[in-house]
Structure 1
Amino acid sequence: MFGRKKDESQSQVNVEPAEQTPETSDGRKSGPTPKRSAQQANRQRPLVPTDRKAAKEVERQQRIEAQNRLRIANETGDERYLMARDKGPQKRYARNFIDARWMIGEFMMFFVLAFLIISLTFSGNINIQVGVQTGLWVLIAIIVIEAIITSSILKRRLVAKFGTIDRGVRMYATMRALQFRKLRLPKPQVKRGESID
């Protein structure tokens, strides 16, 4: 309405892809630098691949490689390939701090399963039912108290070591403390009772 669109054939630059300027053995160029338009044309890739089957295969291989890198990183603690939620020196310290301790919270699911079995086995006995429910609430209270104490100790250590504490590190450590040790990802890199300082 306010102007005509340029003809697409005029706006496109038809330049043959140029090869990179070869270098000599001492690192100097052996020819002239290609023009910018030639370099841009050389870097152009089609938005839609011509061979979709090959493109899918390449994408699948890249996905498999990324999964393998993540799996190895979870086993070795290599931060280059860890998920973003696990990266950072403070989170690594929090992981080691939790993994070096015995935590009641990591056995919570086993206790809950035991309470459930007892409750189903003695469903007709009111006294046992009340005892099971009381025991379950006591267990939850102990785990909450343990999490608060552990979190405060971790906060003091993080401030002493790093000067500040990143957001979410304490919750990250608390959630790890509630997981059974063998199921934690990334895998624990320290033994129980080992000093991490």
Structure 2
Amino acid sequence: MGLFRPYQRNDAAETSDDLAHSEEPKSGGVNRKSAPTPSRKEAELARRERVRPTLTKKEHKAREREIKRQNDDRAYQQTEMRPERVLLRNFIDARWTFGEFVWPILLVSFAVFIAGAFWPQLSVWATYGMWGLIVAILLEATYLWSRFRKVLDQRLPDAYRKGLMMYMISRTITPRRFRRPPTAIDRGAEY
């Protein structure tokens, strides 16, 4: 036993191979450094690269696109969760409207209009039919808006109304299964 190394064993049975294994660090690493210590400037650049990596143009565009999509989703959720919009959606979704059936009728009108190339009188009637649909949608929207305003004044008197009428018209003419956000209540249900 040495004076300054009290824990070193002077066992004759221990071979030099055993000594080599006992001196290895427990972490499995190497005793010597594999590379020189980076300078402060290099360390700061490496840290910045980890925090904010340098991207190629393609990666940068993809990242920007993803950030924009997330911001749009967040803004959409905030807008759609306003109480007056929820009330309007439930008001429209709780009833049958003529506007839901406009798209199939318009498709038939377009087919008749195209058939008017062979029979000109058909295209005239199809044009009148399309104008009739537009008038019917406007009359229904006026009626629904007047009813909704009464409900809105009753339940949310200080609600922000800007854009609600156009939102109501677009929701009214969209077929029920394609409405976004999807319908939350059944027809005839209390809202």
TM-score calculated relative to the size of structure 2: 0.60
Q: Aligned residue for 2:94?
A: 100
Q: Are the counterparts in 2 of residues 155 and 165 from structure 1 also a CA contact under 8 Å? A: no
5+ residue gaps, structure 2: 1-46
The structure having more radius of gyration, on CA atoms, is: 2
1:143 to 2:132 alignment: no
Report 1:77-156 matches (<5 A). 82-156=76-150
CA gap 1:144/1:47 in 2 versus in 1, 3 angstroms:
farther
The one-character-per-residue Cα deviations of 1:12-32 (angstroms, maximum 9, x if unpaired) are: xxxxxxxxxxxxxxxxxxxxx
Q: Are the counterparts in 2 of residues 154 and 170 from structure 1 also a CA contact under 8 Å? A: no
CA gap 1:66/1:92 in 2 versus in 1, 3 angstroms:
farther
**Which of 168, 176, 195 in structure 1 is aligned with 2:171?**
176
Q: Aligned residue for 1:160?
A: 154
TM-score calculated relative to the size of structure 1: 0.58
Q: Matched residues, percent identical? A: 27
Greater helix fraction, Structure 1 or Structure 2: 2
CA offset at residue 64 of structure 1? 7.3
Alpha-carbon distance in 2 for matches of 1:150, 1:97: 9
Q: Aligned residue for 1:49?
A: 51
AA at the equivalent of 2:174:
Q
Which runs of at least 4 in structure 1 moved beyond 6 Å after TM superposition?
A: 63-68
Alpha-carbon distance in 2 for matches of 1:93, 1:134: 35
CA offset at residue 160 of structure 1? 0.7
Q: Are the counterparts in 2 of residues 155 and 170 from structure 1 also a CA contact under 8 Å? A: no
Alpha-carbon distance in 1 for matches of 2:95, 2:157: 23
Q: Are the counterparts in 1 of residues 115 and 123 from structure 2 also a CA contact under 8 Å? A: no
5+ residue gaps, structure 1: 1-44, 72-79
